Structure 1
Amino acid sequence: MASFDVESLFTNVPLHETTELIVNNLNISHLDKFGLDKVHFRKLLGITAHHSVFCFDDCLYTQTDGVAMGPPLGPSYANAFLCHHEQDWLEQCPLEFKPLHYRRYIDDTFLLFKHPSHVNLFLDYLNSKHPSIKFSCEMQKDNQLPFLDTMVTNNNGIFHTTKERLAWEPRLTIGSMREPTPFHEARLVSGANSFGRHCQWVTGLQVLRSQSLRCSHLDFVRNTGKRTIIERHRATRC
């Protein structure tokens, strides 16, 4: 048994590559339900995923690549990227160290191998496949392996899981794991329901940095009562 973890998956997901993967693999019939085509859907993805703005040290910055932590599209982008590539990686993997069992949830993967020596061979193989993605691994100790919020025990080929007691209750559970599958178009397109909200947020920040900064500032304060970040931006003009 072994578990593989993608190091800093969200911030290493290549945005432009993943956007094209999502758009190219979408069925146009799913977009029709929302009155969209691939051209407009690509523009919406560009607005919501490619213009993540954050404040640090009293300055506003735009994240140029990688998925921002927190927005609802983050897990969908990360999963779409890995779903596409891991299918090819598994199909092309040499049989001599190919895992017997492969189950992933977001950036955590549970694997079974014929022999312990195959673990590092497969790890090196995965780490050679894409420049943006690097995996780390943890191997079983005393026939036990912690994975997500469970402890997996291998008792002569019979597996048992026990829930680990944590100070907090995670939302990710082992029951949600699944095999790599083709894109789930309906789930990706359903994100269109939240696009309007995010477009308004991003557009507001873009206007904030335009020549009409003062008017936008007054409107924003009047509607939200928030002025700290805006005033810092006006003062520093980073």
Structure 2
Amino acid sequence: MEMIMIHKDALELFNIKPEYIHDLLLTIFKTNIFKFNKKLYKQLRGLAMGNRLAPLLAIIFVHKIETTIIQALRPINFLRFIDDTFVITKTLEELEILFTELNNAHPQIEFTKEEPTENGLPFLNCNIKKFENGDFTTTWYRKAT
């Protein structure tokens, strides 16, 4: 409800009361089922894969976690696309602190990290490489299948 109230004014522009959104979300979570091997199951935590609201709600939820931590720790750069994040900090120690704080933010959310190699660090469809002088270069990257 907290996130709904943050955007209360925008909702009311469309004559949508925050309570309606809250009630709608509760209904979705209570009737959250999925099918596996021709048998129906109730999803107990989160949303079932394939639920059209799942990506949007995941982005909103993770954004809330990240915003608090980013404001406190102030990395040089923090980029995210869906569930891929690219972070630049002044030191490796700051990066470790940020990573630890993100993983401590919620018991059901686990962030993973990928360390750069001499070839760089893949992010989305790019490979990003940093040179000794601080310059960066990007090349196309395709994950091995």
What is the TM-score when the length of structure 1 is the normalising length?
Answer: 0.53
Alignment equivalent of 2:31, drawn from 34, 48, 51: 51
Shift of 1:29: 4.3
Identity %: 30
Count the aligned residue pairs.
Answer: 144
Moved over 4 A (4+): none
**Deviation digits for residues 85-125 of structure 1, max 9, x if unmatched?**
211112233xxxx5321111222110112223433233223
Q: 1:84 is matched with which residue: 51, 57, 64?
A: 64
Among 153, 156, 162, which residue is 2:139 paired with? 162
The answer as to whether partners of 1:21 and 1:81 remain within 8 angstroms in 2 is no
Residue 106 of structure 2 is aligned to residue 130 of structure 1: yes
RMSD: 2.4
Q: Which has the higher contact order (CA 8 A, sep 6+)?
A: 1
- In 2, the alpha carbon distance for the partners of 1:29 and 1:92 equals 27
User: Could you say what secondary structure the match of 2:113 adopts?
Assistant: strand
Question: 1:26 matched to which residue of 2?
Answer: 7
Q: Choose from 61, 78, 82 the match for 1:106.
A: 82
User: Greater helix percent: which structure?
Assistant: 1
3-state DSSP of counterpart to 1:161: strand
Please report how far the alpha carbon of residue 46 of structure 1 lies from its aligned counterpart in structure 2 after TM superposition. 2.4
SS of 1:139's equivalent in the other structure is coil
Decide whether aligned partners of structure 1 residues 29 and 117 sit closer, same or farther in structure 2, where only a CA change above 3 A counts.
closer
How many angstroms apart in 1 are the aligned matches of 2:11 and 2:98?
37
Partner of 1:37: 17
Structure 1 runs not aligned, ≥5 long: 1-19, 169-238
2: CA distance between counterparts of 1:55 and 1:90?
Answer: 38
> Counterparts of 1:64 and 1:31 in 2: how far apart (Å)?
31
| 1:163-182 mapped onto 2 (5 Å cutoff) | 163-165=140-142
**Following the alignment from structure 2 to structure 1, what is the Cα–Cα distance between the partners of residues 100 and 144?**
34
